[in-house]
Structure 1
Amino acid sequence: MTQNPLPADLSHVTDWVFDLDNTLYPRRCNLFSQIDIRITHYMMEVTRLDFEAARALQKVYYRDYGTTLNGLMQVHKIDPDHFLNTVHAIDYSPVDPHPVLVETIRALPGRKFILTNGDTGHARAVLGRLGGSDLFEHVHDIRAMTYVPKPHKQAYDGFLAEYGIAPERAVMFDDLEKNLVVPHEMGMATVQVMAEDDYRNDQVESWELERSAGPHVHHATQDLAGFLRALLG
């Protein structure tokens, strides 16, 4: 994949906003594959459907509601805390320490945030594996979003207001291009963090791996650390 030329227009950024899953660690770690299967079993318990039917419905909820959790809350009125505690009981060892990424993010001028549809406990576990437990000012998670996830505008509005972030001085990094639509519309710069060219996983929907040619994706990279290091010169 050819990376877009590095943008001079990111020199104005004072607030750096990162998604967590498949953004701060590579998709090949397959953490979400573990979570994904646990979500399917949760769906089976709630809906009494068999594995295939529950999985199909899970993907519909993920696509249409932003997260499967949001769909389950809207349609089945489940307890979100029980869901989050259940599906994040996973093995985090596939995430390797990444001192280059950690130190590069640390060197960025300004504040650093995580905006994730996961929960804080999951984020802290990932950051601990990366070696960046103290790297971010705040982790704004699904609970802080009052369970209304990205890509819904309410999720971004609440986040920006909570920390006094001016969108025109911020940049959003996310692996899913649909999560960059609202940041673009609000005036944020956007960077899509892409999976490796040879990445394949039967549990991942094809739309999750696509690069959009739309105007909401300003820049794209398969190497987040390299992209940021180049920005720092």
Structure 2
Amino acid sequence: MKSPRGFDHVDTWVFDLDNTLYPHHVNLWQQVDTRISEFVSRWLNVSTEEARAIQKDYYRRFGTTMRGMMTLHGVHADDYLAYVHQIDHSPLEPNPLMGTAITKLPGRKLILTNGSLDHVDKVLDRLGLTDHFDAVFDIIAAEFEPKPAPRTYQKFLDLHAVDPTRAAMFEDLARNLVVPHQLGMTTVLVVPDGSKEVVREDWELEGREARHVDHVTDDLTGFLQGLAKEV
């Protein structure tokens, strides 16, 4: 049986954004998901059903649909990001309790996301968390190579001078925790709380028992509040 890594030594706290800093059941990403399907359908001139299949295939193979569209179809990232992030952020509500818990954690707090900085700004503004993070590493900083690509994590670590053996990573996709764990980070998988319906692919909800997942929580705010009392 594995012995999960702890947090006593952590001085850098790394957070994914979507479905991590806000609950899965908000289904904000569902809006983006729909916009992606529309973009693929229009760009490739295919039916919505065919576009959906292509979208999900690229998502699994390339890390993001955008990367697949760029690699195979010459899509420009700026055009793609501008289109798919035209969504309604109003379902997000301020979370001052999470903000307080994050503030109490010792050291730096960073965001590592496959989204764009513009999207990050809008989400953090709605959550009331804008001032709680020291830096954001987005898909543009990653030169459009998304997690879980190992080079993306290394770029992030190098740019922000992060010692992975003194860092913790919070993510909603277990596959995006494989490399962080290999690098020495303490890993936390954020899962739905089960109280409300979530719109996710089955594979996106897998991995709770994976060896590279040290901790699992369905209540990130409560989990961080507990950590703040321990570290």
The two structures have a TM-score, normalised by structure 2, of 0.95
Q: Give the structure 2 partner of residue 21 of structure 1.
A: 18
Aligned residue in 2 for 1:62: 59
| Counterpart amino acid of residue 18 in structure 1 | F
Tell me the C-alpha RMSD between the 2 structures. 1.4
**Does the Cα contact within 8 Å between 1:194 and 1:211 map onto a contact in 2?**
no
Identify the residue that residue 228 of structure 2 maps to in structure 1.
232
Paired position in structure 2 for 1:46: 43
Give how far 1:45 is off: 1.1
**1:211 aligns to what?**
207
* 1:60-110, Cα deviation, whole Å (9 max, x unpaired): 000110000111111111010110011101100000000000111111100
Instruction: Give the letter for the 2:67 counterpart.
Output: N
Segments of structure 2 that go 5 or more residues without pairing to the other structure are none
Aligned pairs (5 A) from 1:41-190:
41-190=38-187
Percent sequence identity over aligned pairs: 47
Aligned equivalent of 2:216: 220
Count, aligned residues: 227
Instruction: Check if 1:194 corresponds to 2:186.
Output: no
Instruction: Compute the displacement of 1:8 (Å).
Output: 7.7
Match of 2:28 among 22, 31, 38: 31
Distance 1:102 1:69 in 2: 31
**Whole-Å Cα distance in 2 between the matches of residues 215 and 221 of structure 1?**
15
**Runs of at least 4 residues of structure 1 off by over 2 A?**
198-201
Structure 2 counterpart of 1:221, one-letter code: T
Per-residue deviation at 1:200? 3.2
d(CA) in 1 for partners of 2:92, 2:122: 10
Aligned partners of 2:171 and 2:188 also within 8 Å: yes
Q: TM-score, normalised by structure 1?
A: 0.94
> Which structure 1 segments of 5+ residues have no match?
none
2:187 alignment partner AA? T
Aligned residue for 1:12, secondary structure, equals coil
